[in-house]
Amino acid sequence: MEHNAAVVTVDPVDEVVHASARAAEVVASGRGLSIVHQPIVELDHGTIVGYEALARFGEVRDTQAVFEGGQLLGLGPELEARVLARALAGSRRLVRGCRLHVNVSPSVLGSRRISAVLAGARLERIVIELTEHVPAHDLAELQRVLVGLRARGALVAVDDVGSGFSGAELLLGLRPDIVKVDPTLVRGLALHEGRAGVVATVVAAAHRVGARVVAEGVEDRTTLEACVRLGVDAAQGYWLARPARGFPRVDPERVAGIVRADRRVLFGTALASALAPARFVPAREPLRGEGIRVGVDPLGRAVWVALGWRGPLRAREVAVREGFEAVQAALSAGAEAVVLVDDERRALGVVIGKVEASRP
């Protein structure tokens, strides 16, 4: 700690004035605005499926303050229209197979300014992210606007789900194509059972209405692994890539061994014979093999296994390094199936049935 460092204070009023001035400048001329992109990575194979377009306002680091400044000046729709137009212009350079996520406040989505920008855009590869609370009495009008956008190929995403009532309200009322989990829930996900429980609930609710789930704010490997275990479909955050100009790529090492396609392990004859006559099925995806479904608790730990036509079987997790005795002990203690995992709790396969009392 530096005790001699100078203390700099910033007048909050000056900050508001500066942010408002930048909002006015962007609306008037477009100067002082740039767009960066952050990739969204699906968790089956680790490929980039989209990019979120994010506004940057030069030396004004607090982007939210600029939008709030625009609102104070009565320029909210005009500012969002400028940002949206600049973001959509970049979609022409979008990587093949990806969609561009653009943020729009529901309160201005049907405004004349925003409608004019969207009218001139091709929306087949665009995701409209709704970014604020919508009063219940406005849902019908919002739905009407979205019907038209969806007819032109756009998808709809609800942002910050899990942070409060508004996310659940939008999820039920709008039946979005994509649900984005609030970063405050995602950060530290692997360490907090309560957060994991909320995320698991969001995933289940989203999947019931046919939506895919994106976790925002993934900042480390363990959080990404927790997202995979909890059934999250895609992820976004500093661990994968920071926002940058152009369309940044993701270092393959950041997802190697974590995404579902990488969780494939072949076992030698020694292990197979030690487990006979139990049936062992390698996991071709995490917690899934051919005809296998595994239920997990809020922390992603296996609690039941269903194989083909057979109903759920009580299950336990056993680390493969614990060896034959641990598998035998779990089955002897009442488990009907054992999910074998590696040291990072990646599913390697499932043992179903009784294990012989002695090794071959």
Give 285-340 pLDDT, tens digit per residue: 433 444 566 666 656 666 767 765 556 778 888 877 777 778 888 888 888 888 88
Strand order in the sheet with 347-352: 279-282, 347-352, 337-341, 313-319, 302-307, 292-296
pLDDT tens figures, 189-238: 888 888 888 888 888 888 888 899 999 999 999 999 889 888 899 999 99
Largest CA distance in the chain: 80
Per-residue pLDDT, 134: 59
Does a structural domain hold residue 198? yes
Residues 244 and 271 occupy one common structural domain: no
| The domain boundary residue, chosen from 240, 261, 282 | 261
Does a structural domain hold residue 357? no
Average pLDDT over residues 62-90: 93
Residue 121 has pLDDT above 60, yes or no: yes
Q: Nearest 5°: CA angle at 46, between 40 and 48?
A: 35
Per-residue pLDDT, 337: 81
- For 182-215, b/e burial (b = at least 16 CB within 10 A) is bbebbbbbbebeebbebbbebbebbeeeebbbbb
Pair of tokens at residue 143: 């739905």
Q: Given its phi and psi angles, is residue 132 left (phi above 0), alpha (psi -120 to 50 degrees) or beta?
A: beta
Residues 247 and 192 occupy one common structural domain: yes
pLDDT tens figures, 14-58: 788 889 999 999 999 999 999 999 999 999 889 999 999 999 999
d(CA 189, CA 196): 6
Identify the burial level of 296 via C-beta atoms within 10 angstroms of its C-beta, where 0-12 means exposed, 13-18 middle and 19 or more buried: buried
Tally the domains of the chain: 2
Tell me how far the alpha carbon of residue 299 is from its chain's centroid: 17
Query: Which residues form the domain of 292?
Result: 263-352
Per-residue pLDDT, 349: 73
pLDDT tens figures, 231-276: 899 999 999 999 999 999 999 889 887 876 654 433 333 334 444 4
Per-residue pLDDT, 194: 85
Per-residue pLDDT, 243: 96
Per-residue pLDDT, 339: 81
50: amino acid identity, one letter: G
Does a structural domain hold residue 110? yes
Q: Taking all residues of the chain, what is their mean pLDDT, rounded to a whole number? A: 80
d(CA 256, CA 144): 42
> In the chain, what percentage of residues exceed pLDDT 70?
74
Residue 277 has pLDDT above 50, yes or no: no
- Tell how strand 126-130 and strand 234-236 pair up: unpaired
pTM greater than 0.75: no
Per-residue pLDDT, 18: 87
Own/partner pairs for 329-338, CB < 8 Å, 24+ apart? 331/278, 331/355, 336/305, 337/304, 337/305, 337/307, 337/313
Query: Residues 50, 40: contact at Cβ < 8 Å?
Result: yes
Q: Spell out the alpha helix ranges (H) of 111-257.
A: 112-119, 139-151, 165-174, 183-186, 193-208, 221-229
Q: Nearest 5°: CA angle at 217, between 64 and 348?
A: 170
Per-residue pLDDT, 17: 87
Average pLDDT over residues 60-67: 91
Question: In angstroms, what CA-CA distances link 101 with 54, 136, 229?
Answer: 9, 24, 25
Residues 194 and 207 occupy one common structural domain: yes
Residues 165 and 179 occupy one common structural domain: yes
Per-residue pLDDT, 313: 79
Per-residue pLDDT, 169: 64
Residues 126 and 211 occupy one common structural domain: yes
- Tell how strand 155-161 and strand 178-181 pair up: parallel
d(CA 198, CA 134): 21
Residues 307 and 234 occupy one common structural domain: no
Q: Compare 114 and 283 and report the one with higher pLDDT.
A: 114
Residues 175 and 310 occupy one common structural domain: no
DSSP state of 312: -
Does a structural domain hold residue 2? no
Residues 86 and 232 occupy one common structural domain: yes
Residues 136 and 199 occupy one common structural domain: yes
* 3-state class (DSSP) for residue 108: helix
Query: Taking Cα atoms as reference points, which of 106, 109, 149, 160 lies closest to residue 126?
Result: 149
Residues 168 and 151 occupy one common structural domain: yes
DSSP state of 267: P
- Tell how strand 126-130 and strand 99-104 pair up: parallel
pLDDT-derived band of residue 83, with 50, 70 and 90 as boundaries? very high
- Tell how strand 313-319 and strand 337-341 pair up: parallel
| The domain boundary residue, chosen from 261, 295, 312 | 261
d(CA 52, CA 318): 39
Per-residue pLDDT, 205: 86
Residue 119: CATH number of its domain? 3.20.20.450
Name the helix (H) or strand (E) containing 37.
strand 34-42
Does a structural domain hold residue 280? yes
d(CA 52, CA 38): 5
Per-residue pLDDT, 181: 93
Does a structural domain hold residue 277? yes
| The domain boundary residue, chosen from 242, 261, 280 | 261
Average pLDDT over residues 168-191: 85
Residues 204 and 154 occupy one common structural domain: yes
pLDDT tens figures, 127-145: 999 986 655 557 888 899 9
Residues 256 and 328 occupy one common structural domain: no
Does a structural domain hold residue 6? no
Does a structural domain hold residue 202? yes
Per-residue pLDDT, 355: 41
